[in-house]
Amino acid sequence: MAKQEEQQENVLFRNIISHAKEYGFVYQSSEIYDGLQAVYDYGPYGAELKKNLKDLWWQSMTRLNQEVVGLDSAIFMHPHTWKASGHIDSFNDPMIDNKDSKKRYRADVLVEDKAAEYEKNGEAEKGKALVEELARLLEAEDLEGVRELIVRENIVCPVSGTAEWTEVRQFNLMFSTKVGSVAEDADTIYLRPETAQGIFVNFLNVQKTARMKVPFGIAQIGKAFRNEIVARQFIFRMREFEQMEMQYFVRPGEEMKWYEHWRDARLRWHKALGIPEEKLRLHDHEKLAHYANAALDIEFEFPFGFKEVEGIHSRTDFDLGNHQEVSRKKIQYFDPEINKNYTPYVVETSIGADRTFLMLLCNAYTEEEVGEGDKKKMRTYLKFHPALAPVKAAILPLTKKDGLPDKAREIFDKLKYDFNIIYEEQQSIGKRYTRQDLIGTPFCIAVDYDTLEDDTVTIRHRDTTEQERVHINELHNRLAEATSIRNILESL
Ligand code: GAP
């Protein structure tokens, strides 16, 4: 990417972040205490948008697939879970400290940033070679080699400007705490770093109690926690975030068929949200995790480049097999069709709710030049799919007098049970339209003097700003048709 283009992209991302805060979507956590790094809170419109997104994912999984059922497992799990899953031994990032600034960095990110710098300066080959060397060292777990690479490349701490580095150490990303009231006797437990393990340990419970037959899936939405050392790009990488995961249990040997099935289904889902095809791409993992026999990311083009939003992983019988071994409980399924017992293989779809939220926000954020000559100005609005938009419609009386507010409230009261709508009477109608554009409300319903005569209102459409006159009796149907998540589900 050319430097100027990149700077514009950065400005765009900064604008999106400011917009998210100013219009009630996302706030820094504990802001009055200067914030907590990589932790965020969702404001009134952000909370609605996120809820709509999670509902849509849940319904796409469980309603459109009769063989996929839901689960809501606890954040805390028995500590052995994380031994079996491999998280205690290998859920690590290599980190390095600068002795002068006392700042901690991810060693691999320092090297990757250096490689990106080479690329920016027209030395792409040098950058590529550096990334490859890093990959080789990490693969060989040669942490001293990684340190030598950092020193050789003259990488300095951005704060102190020195190259006084400590050795590179592995840093486990799980947060731990103690159970029980007496700390000395208490056991260490972890805040789950992924929701998937709650599904694995409940495999037999769900299979037996919901009488599921392989192939079947278990879907879950919930919080996950990772002590990310490098926390940046707003809600892209957080320490507390939400995942929407589905584990699909299949007959061994049939996993590639299901891997392809879920890859295609999930890509269709992203497009159905209104994400243009050219902003999505699949990225196959070249280097597979030890438990996977296939893996890919669905990436979205954020203002800072194509980045992972969702992972599709064929995880073999690694997780169920390990839980069987560590718990010493048989985790097997009797398949009546082939008259055999086996440990099912798993195809996983794993998507971050916060990261998808960021994708929706970046995709919706629109700055457009409108008007002619002296009247030229920028119009900013959020082009959310109406089914996902936090507020579906705003009911706006033209003035605060002559009975218009009463009529508008009457309309509001009829619609409020079925739609998240807003009533607003302060300021000029133009300013109120602008305000709704900024939070992405697809429809503004203006109540004027004609409404008192003939029960018609004006509907203003967010994206085109076009207006049309409709009868009050039509409003419910019009909103239902335009904002139902059925529009998305039916297109899948
Ligand atoms: N169970 C598999 C798993 O957890 P992952 O690739 O580590 O796989 C899946 O995470 C998804 O969770 C990612 O694609 C991303 O959307 C989201 N995610 C992971 N770490 C995150 C973080 N620190 N902040 C926000 N979202 C994150």
DSSP assignment of 200-222 equals HHTHHHHHHHTT--SSEEEEEEE
User: Are 147 and 42 within one domain?
Assistant: no
Q: Is the CB of 237 under 6 A from ligand 1?
A: yes
Residue 392 covered by a domain: yes
Residue 219 covered by a domain: yes
CB 361 within 8 A of CB 387: no
User: Are 189 and 275 within one domain?
Assistant: yes
* Domain ranges, residue 283: 2-86+175-361
The CATH number of the domain holding residue 62 is: 3.30.930.10
- Domain boundary, last residue among 127, 147, 172: 172
Quick one: which atom of ligand 1 is closest to the CA of 238?
24
Residue 371 covered by a domain: no
Q: Tell me, what's the pLDDT at 307? A: 95
Say whether pLDDT at 430 is over 60: yes
The pLDDT tens digits for 311-361 are 999 999 999 999 999 999 999 999 999 999 999 999 999 999 999 999 999
Tokens coding 111: 């090297």
Cα of 222 vs centre of ligand 1, distance in Å, is 12
The CATH number of the domain holding residue 118 is: 3.30.40.230
Band the pLDDT of 287: cuts 50, 70, 90: confident
User: Are 69 and 118 within one domain?
Assistant: no
Once rounded to an integer, what is the mean pLDDT over residues 145-168?
95
User: DSSP secondary-structure letter at 287?
Assistant: S
Band the pLDDT of 8: cuts 50, 70, 90: low
Band the pLDDT of 229: cuts 50, 70, 90: confident
Quick one: which atom of ligand 1 is closest to the CA of 231?
23
Task: Provide the β-strand partners of residue 96.
Answer: 105
User: DSSP secondary-structure letter at 275?
Assistant: -
User: Are 179 and 166 within one domain?
Assistant: no
Say whether pLDDT at 230 is over 90: no
> Which residue lies with its CA nearest to atom 22 of ligand 1?
237
Once rounded to an integer, what is the mean pLDDT over residues 239-257?
98
Q: Is the CB of 233 under 6 A from ligand 1?
A: no
User: Are 142 and 198 within one domain?
Assistant: no
User: Are 325 and 293 within one domain?
Assistant: yes
Q: Tell me, what's the pLDDT at 77? A: 97
Tokens coding 59: 């319904």
Q: Is the CB of 243 under 6 A from ligand 1?
A: yes
The pLDDT tens digits for 44-96 are 999 999 999 999 999 999 999 999 999 999 999 999 999 999 999 989 999 99
Once rounded to an integer, what is the mean pLDDT over residues 360-385?
94
Say whether pLDDT at 232 is over 80: no
Q: Is the CB of 93 under 6 A from ligand 1?
A: no
User: DSSP secondary-structure letter at 374?
Assistant: G
Residue 100 covered by a domain: yes
In this structure, the strands spanning 393-397 and 443-447 are: parallel
What are the helix (H) ranges across 365-441?
404-415, 429-439
Q: Is the CB of 266 under 6 A from ligand 1?
A: no
CB 409 within 8 A of CB 447: no
Quick one: which atom of ligand 1 is closest to the CA of 196?
1
Count up the domains in the chain and report the number: 3
> Which residue lies with its CA nearest to atom 10 of ligand 1?
350
CA angle 19, 116, 278 (to 5 degrees): 55
Cα of 238 vs centre of ligand 1, distance in Å, is 9
In angstroms, the Cα distances linking 94 to 112, 170, 385 are 13, 4, 40
User: Are 280 and 226 within one domain?
Assistant: yes
The pLDDT tens digits for 185-205 are 678 899 999 999 999 999 999
Say whether pLDDT at 3 is over 70: no
DSSP structure string for 91-151: -EEEEEEBTTT--EEEHHHHHHHHHHHHHHTT-HHHHHHHHHHHHHHHHTT-HHHHHHHHH
Q: Is the CB of 425 under 6 A from ligand 1?
A: no
Burial (CB count within 10 angstroms: exposed 0-12, middle 13-18, buried 19+), residue 126: middle
Does this model's pTM top 0.85? yes
Residue 377 covered by a domain: no
User: Are 74 and 16 within one domain?
Assistant: yes
User: Are 253 and 347 within one domain?
Assistant: yes
The CATH number of the domain holding residue 443 is: 3.40.50.800
- Domain boundary, last residue among 127, 153, 172: 172
- Domain boundary, last residue among 172, 199, 234: 172
Residue 302 covered by a domain: yes
User: Are 183 and 167 within one domain?
Assistant: no
Residue 379 covered by a domain: no
Burial (CB count within 10 angstroms: exposed 0-12, middle 13-18, buried 19+), residue 104: middle
Residue 376 covered by a domain: no
Q: Is the CB of 301 under 6 A from ligand 1?
A: no
Closest CA to 202 of 163, 169, 245: 245
Q: Is the CB of 311 under 6 A from ligand 1?
A: yes
Q: Is the CB of 246 under 6 A from ligand 1?
A: no
User: Are 192 and 260 within one domain?
Assistant: yes
Band the pLDDT of 288: cuts 50, 70, 90: confident
Higher pLDDT, 104 or 389: 389
Cα of 283 vs centre of ligand 1, distance in Å, is 15
Cα of 194 vs centre of ligand 1, distance in Å, is 8
Mutational test site, ligand 1, from 241, 267, 306, max ligand atoms within 8 Å of CB: 241
User: Are 165 and 179 within one domain?
Assistant: no
Share of the chain above pLDDT 70, in %: 97
Q: Tell me, what's the pLDDT at 184? A: 65
Q: Tell me, what's the pLDDT at 5? A: 61
Quick one: which atom of ligand 1 is closest to the CA of 313?
2
In whole angstroms, give the CA distance from residue 322 to residue 326. Answer: 6
CB under 8 Å to 330, separation ≥6 — which residues?
A: 324
CB under 8 Å to 161, separation ≥6 — which residues?
A: none
The mean pLDDT of the chain is 95
